[in-house]
Amino acid sequence: RGRRGSQRYRGQEWGNGLMTIYQHFKMVPTRKWRWPSFSPSEVGCRHCGWIRINPDFLDTLQALRDQRGPTTVSNVCRCAVHNARGGGAPGSMHLRGMAADVALLGAARKGLQQAAIAVGFKGFGYYQTFLHVDLGRPRFWGQKELWNA
């Protein structure tokens, strides 16, 4: 364990590929937050505020926002309770801080999908109003036909 309220993995905080967990997004040190288009409150669990900072994932999400402009991102980190209540898979990438649901905001579906592929996302869930993206193994599910039109 690191400081009170946080857990560190592999001995460092926020380096390349290293993750840190905070019990609440308000505990994240502002001076260390390096993703200008997101705030810890936007990334933390909507149920309890729990947050797992996965720098590789957040770098990829920042790249998507840099390429696409303003986008609404929801459900990045989920605690186990929030994940279960929302019908998430038991091994959901949201539990690892490696997934996000990205809303369309009037953008063309195909353009959002192509941009997500270009910046390095590998897992895709196709829904009516949002695209699930993650850094898990390459796979897809959902209403893909809506996104290829």
Structure confidence at residue 106 (pLDDT): 64
pLDDT given for residue 21 in this prediction = 92
Entry pTM: 0.85
Query: Do residues 22 and 50 lie in contact, with contact meaning Cβ atoms separated by under 8 Å?
Result: yes
* Nearest of 111, 1, 130 to residue 64 by alpha carbon: 111
Predicted pLDDT at 58: 95
pLDDT for position 149: 67
Residue 17: predicted pLDDT: 59
Rounded CA gap, 43 and 28, in Å? 11
Rounded CA gap, 85 and 141, in Å?
20
As given in the structure block, the two tokens for residue 130 are 């949002």
pLDDT (0 to 100) of residue 72:
86
Q: Which portions of the chain are predicted below pLDDT 70?
A: 1-17, 105-107, 149
Assigned token pair, 109: 């579906």
CA atoms within 13 A on the CB side of 113: 19
State residue 82's pLDDT score: 95
The predicted pLDDT at position 18 comes to 73
> Phi and psi for 114 in degrees, rounded to 5?
-65, -40
